[in-house]
Structure 1
């Protein structure tokens, strides 16, 4: 606890120094010139937009190997963001690779007028390949609070070091995996630090000073990236929001590959009607376990649903009102841990599977089972995870774009085992020792929806327990909070049972800048205008009495 306090004290002293630097920079004529670190003519709140155009970013500005970078364009922008009219400078940047055959990292920085002297980096999604929208809110962000750019944050992000094909489905182009540097930029997170360093260099050039705080927010792949920066560069970000993180990416891919094979078997795929049947049956069986019927299962661990109750007579497929034996086996496979009978270099041994609520709702089939069974070639209507596996096999594992991904068995990979093991050291970002991040004063908010169809909430709970077991409950609580949101799915995709919205950024600011940890937070269902308490894991909200749409009617329990 003393180390964490020391980190916060150092941050407060740094803010004071930066405030003095800003005053000196803006005090023209008083001391003749500003401090030596300030850019000539820079304003502490209005960016020097045109002066950045064509600017060279030296390789020395970045801590990881590059051959430098360059500002490709700047534009003065006026946009309505979160209902507010914002003027900002949009800066597009190329960061050059060491390997000339590797693609550039393409980054963007939005520099607002009236800068609040803070910066926030957004993570990506899927296989990335495009620059995230810098006007967006943080994952599971509130509908009634402004996005970071509207709060006058300098926001930045990159495509993580490759550009998606315009003909590929969004975030599902893995072809960059043929190049080692591009793969490392994406999977190991090297592009994150390169983008952060280049962006802070340009922020300093634009305003004449560094940000007082730098934050990171991301979900899914971006959630993994959020954990990567805390693990690898503990002093690079002051606070991190990690939502539904795919931190053990290789391990999940192996499970997705196994499920792809299971669902491709004759008669094994439950179509959308049967997925809806499964979802409705789980809700009917488990909804009231938290004390109220509201179509939200608050305690999935207490839901002992048995899919055999939906078995068709004789086990044959007799229509949409029941599940055949092969379909029941598929459902059980999706909800069960997948363990592989061999060692991989990352040390991971299994992926924990998905709750029965995951992917069972036809309103979001793309993220779960999909609309159609996996096949070769992989249908665009199959589940997202099955298409993700297909791209990984073709471009990461075999590096053969024509390889049939159904021919690779994650249980018995044969000649591909060594390659899988090597990839695990890059893709499984599983270092639980966040002690350096905590000692630097960093704060981490970890979020996951209990009904996530694409990244298992059980996996995030596993990572949290590893951190707590390694560092101790007290130290972990000093810098980290973890909340599982009942009813929330992956990124509020489609029409989830609970469309989560919480102002995690304000909570993180108060924690980092004022030392006030989140206390009794509430999350809003943004489509149904109801609230629930956000409970510290492993607690979950149980209904007591009163209005079931109000968080005050619930108590966190375990």
Structure 2
């Protein structure tokens, strides 16, 4: 049986519980397509409400609206049937179904932060290629970085951790089946940050949900990286009076020192993994210990801690990777709050610790300095398997699934070394590099920040869409992806060829 045929069989079984009347209604509408055919098919979904999807196994689904909408403008405009609904108890979703030019594929899009909103701008490139798309809110509709939705609510923890992505995918496949009269030929997942974690968790927990997964800078060890990595860099950057030691105005000085020490070209460190940078080279001379163009001894000490692993009160490392790599310094603004309160990264960690991470939620009185780096990591470990990704992807591999992981070496939020370490764990579990590369590839991008931005050519989740599809359908494993740097007018300024880790990226090429 071919990969495509096996894929259709798996997905047909996944939507086998869709009642015949839902599919029949869509097919009747398609039979009289005409100019109003798509509207009629969309109306069938709107009229069905939840009646035709309540029997989905483990994913009782209700449709709250289905309307014809248009996204984009000009030649990029796409008209679709936009379906809003939820899977009980509260896993809301939005499905976009192109009314013409459907490529017979489904793309599920990941979330960010603590969820609570859809990221349709990231669905747009896939929708423009003809994909049906689905996005979910991870079990709640409270956008922003407030974890209070899960306070003393274990079901909310589970929905956020893994259930919401799975059940809304089941619902989306059923809706695609009802609208087009056929299941998707292939289903893909694409996400970055929290979305990357969703993809990795899906591969391990629900190995037949997707034929292929794109997992951008992810948090495979969510309970560690979110639970205390950001909190740690906040805490160690305060003096005994609570004042911030390393302030954001010093970051350009530190960054330039890192570029010089690591032999950067075009303002980008190509291989920070090979550079052992000591920020002491930027320390002020004894004659001017607090100079404006250098770092004080205390600031150098904090910088060293930012580059290093999380440590407990005895100075023992409790993570096996550093929080940041040389070249990421300009984006430490997300790890430093000059006013002394939680930074962006620390604030996300604090919300997780208050409402999701521990078996018993400590609630809003828990502060960053409440975290005990000697005892609380073990307490977070009690629920770690609920949130963390597993490197055991044997079932995903057996099902024919393909996984593309990617990260920027200058990622300020997700430690790049943690991504590399997780990939190596996949290799070890699979039986070695050759076995792992039959179904997973990792691409590390010099100079790229968390998900977007950086120095030099960069990637985005949709950079891999065609490569992943070719790998799944034709067995063409991705050997190279091209990172692109654009000018203000959209013209290409420079490119860089990125090869699967551990092969070094090529030098940046400036375009004419």
- TM-score, normalization: structure 1? 0.79
Q: Secondary structure at the match of 2:510?
A: coil
CA distances 1:10-69 after superposition (whole Å, capped 9, x unpaired): 4236659999xxxxxxxxxxxxx9998885415399751011115215454143xx5x23
**Residue 207 of structure 2 contacts residue 399 of structure 2 at CA under 8 Å; is this kept in 1?**
yes
Q: Is the alpha carbon distance of 1:177 and 1:341 closer, same or farther for their aligned partners in structure 2, counting shifts above 3 Å?
A: farther
Q: Is the alpha carbon distance of 1:42 and 1:467 closer, same or farther for their aligned partners in structure 2, counting shifts above 3 Å?
A: farther
> Following TM superposition, by how much is the alpha carbon of 1:526 offset from its aligned partner in structure 2, in angstroms?
3.1
Q: How far apart in 1 are the matches of 2:74 and 2:303?
A: 41
> Following TM superposition, by how much is the alpha carbon of 1:353 offset from its aligned partner in structure 2, in angstroms?
1.9
Among 105, 109, 126, the alignment partner of 1:148 is: 126
Q: Secondary structure at the match of 1:540?
A: coil
1:454 paired with 2:413, answer yes
Among 472, 475, 481, the alignment partner of 1:521 is: 481
Q: Secondary structure at the match of 2:72?
A: strand
Q: What are the residue-to-residue correspondences of 1:147-296 with 2, within 5 Å?
A: 147-164=125-142, 170=144, 172-178=145-151, 179-187=153-161, 189-252=162-225, 253-266=227-240, 268-288=244-264, 293-296=265-268
CA distances 1:390-448 after superposition (whole Å, capped 9, x unpaired): 212322346344324233234223xx56642223222222x211121111111111110
Q: Is the alpha carbon distance of 1:62 and 1:332 closer, same or farther for their aligned partners in structure 2, counting shifts above 3 Å?
A: farther
Aligned to 1:61: 56
Aligned to 1:406: 368
Aligned to 1:555: none
Aligned to 2:67: 75
Q: What are the residue-to-residue correspondences of 1:494-505 with 2, within 5 Å?
A: 496-501=455-460, 503-505=463-465
Q: How far apart in 2 are the matches of 1:17 and 1:351?
A: 39
Q: Is the alpha carbon distance of 1:408 and 1:315 closer, same or farther for their aligned partners in structure 2, counting shifts above 3 Å?
A: farther
**Residue 339 of structure 1 contacts residue 351 of structure 1 at CA under 8 Å; is this kept in 2?**
no
CA distances 1:296-338 after superposition (whole Å, capped 9, x unpaired): 1111022222111112234986143121222112111111122
Aligned to 1:386: 346
**Residue 84 of structure 1 contacts residue 150 of structure 1 at CA under 8 Å; is this kept in 2?**
yes
Q: How far apart in 2 are the matches of 1:110 and 1:315?
A: 64
1:116 paired with 2:73, answer no
Among 467, 471, 475, the alignment partner of 1:511 is: 471
Q: How far apart in 2 are the matches of 1:161 and 1:198?
A: 14
Q: How far apart in 2 are the matches of 1:87 and 1:273?
A: 47
Q: How far apart in 2 are the matches of 1:406 and 1:16?
A: 50
Aligned to 1:357: 326
> Following TM superposition, by how much is the alpha carbon of 1:358 offset from its aligned partner in structure 2, in angstroms?
5.6
Q: How far apart in 2 are the matches of 1:69 and 1:317?
A: 64
Q: Secondary structure at the match of 1:70?
A: strand
Q: How far apart in 2 are the matches of 1:87 and 1:341?
A: 57
> Following TM superposition, by how much is the alpha carbon of 1:212 offset from its aligned partner in structure 2, in angstroms?
0.6
Q: How far apart in 2 are the matches of 1:128 and 1:404?
A: 21
CA distances 1:222-257 after superposition (whole Å, capped 9, x unpaired): 000010111111111001000001111111122222
1:329 paired with 2:289, answer no
- TM-score, normalization: structure 2? 0.86
Stretches of structure 2 lacking an aligned partner (at least 5 in a row): 13-19
Q: Is the alpha carbon distance of 1:35 and 1:131 closer, same or farther for their aligned partners in structure 2, counting shifts above 3 Å?
A: closer
Q: Is the alpha carbon distance of 1:14 and 1:403 closer, same or farther for their aligned partners in structure 2, counting shifts above 3 Å?
A: closer
Aligned to 1:144: none
> Following TM superposition, by how much is the alpha carbon of 1:498 offset from its aligned partner in structure 2, in angstroms?
3.7
CA RMSD in angstroms comes to: 3.1
**Residue 267 of structure 2 contacts residue 455 of structure 2 at CA under 8 Å; is this kept in 1?**
no
> Following TM superposition, by how much is the alpha carbon of 1:456 offset from its aligned partner in structure 2, in angstroms?
1.1
Aligned to 2:272: 300
Q: How far apart in 2 are the matches of 1:463 and 1:330?
A: 26
CA distances 1:70-93 after superposition (whole Å, capped 9, x unpaired): 111111112226942211011110
Q: How far apart in 2 are the matches of 1:38 and 1:439?
A: 36
Q: How far apart in 2 are the matches of 1:507 and 1:535?
A: 13
Aligned to 2:17: none
CA distances 1:265-304 after superposition (whole Å, capped 9, x unpaired): 255532222011111111122234xxxx311111102222
- Between 148-157 and 395-404, report the one with greater CA deviation: 395-404
Q: Secondary structure at the match of 1:500?
A: coil
Q: What are the residue-to-residue correspondences of 1:32-51 with 2, within 5 Å?
A: 39-43=26-30, 47=38, 48-51=41-44
